[in-house]
Chains A and B, each alone.
Chain A
Amino acid sequence: MDFDFSAVLDSWQYLAGGLGLTILLSLLTVILSLIFGIAVALGRMYGPRWLSVPLVFYIDSMRAVPVLVVLIWIYFALPIVTGISLPPFWAALVALTFHICAYVAEIVRAGISSVRAGQTQAGLVLGMSEAQVMRKIILPQALIRMLPSLGSIVSITIKDTAIAAVIAVPELMKRTETVSGQSFRPMEAFTVAMVVYFLILFPATRAIDLIYKNIAYRGRS
Chain B
Amino acid sequence: MSTVAAQIQNRKNADQTPVVEYRSIRKQYGEFVAIGSVTARVNKGEVVCLIGPSGSGKSTLLRTTNALEQIQGGELLFDGKPLPASKAGIRQVRQRMGMVFQNFELFPHKTVLENITVGPRTVLKVSEQEARKRAVALLDKVGLADKADKYPANLSGGQQQRVAIARALAMEPEVMLFDEPTSALDPETIGEVLNVMKRLAEEGMTMIVVTHEMTFARRVADWVVVFDRGNIVEQGPAAQIFDNPQAERTRDFLSHLGWDG
Q: A and B from one assembly?
A: yes
Instruction: Answer whether residue A136 sits at the interface, using C-beta atoms and an 8 A cutoff.
Output: yes
What are the 6 A-B residue pairs with the smallest beta carbon separation, nearest first?
A127-B95, A122-B105, A126-B119, A217-B153, A125-B99, A127-B123
Q: Is B103 an interface residue (CB 8 A)?
A: yes
Question: Does A136 contact B92, Cβ atoms closer than 8 Å?
Answer: no
Q: Are B108 and A128 in contact, with the CB atoms below 8 A?
A: no
Contacts of A124 in B (CB 8 A): 68, 94
Decide if B66 is an interface residue (CB 8 Å cutoff): yes
Q: Is A144 an interface residue (CB 8 A)?
A: yes
| Interface contact A118-B108, CB-CB below 8 Å | no
Contacts of A144 in B (CB 8 A): 109
Bound-state CA distance A218–B168 (Å) is: 21
Q: How many A-B residue pairs have CB under 8 A?
A: 71
Asked whether any CB of chain A lies closer than 8 Å to the CB of B107, the reply is yes
Task: Establish whether residues A126 and B108, one from each chain, have CB atoms under 8 Å apart when the complex forms.
Answer: no
- List 4 other contacts, CB 8 Å, given A119-B107, A128-B91: A125-B99, A126-B123, A141-B107, A217-B151
Which of A126, A132, A140, A217 contacts B95 (CB under 8 A)?
Answer: A126
Number of interface residues of B (CB under 8 A): 27
Say which size band chain A's interface belongs to. Answer: 20 to 34
Q: CA of A118 to CA of B63 in the docked complex: distance in angstroms?
A: 12
List chain B residues, Cβ under 8 A from A121.
Answer: 68, 101, 105
Contact of B91 among A127, A136, A140, A218 (CB under 8 A): A127
Q: Is the CB of A128 within 8 A of B122?
A: yes
Check if B232 is an interface residue, CB within 8 A of chain A.
no
B118 at interface by CB-CB < 8 Å? yes
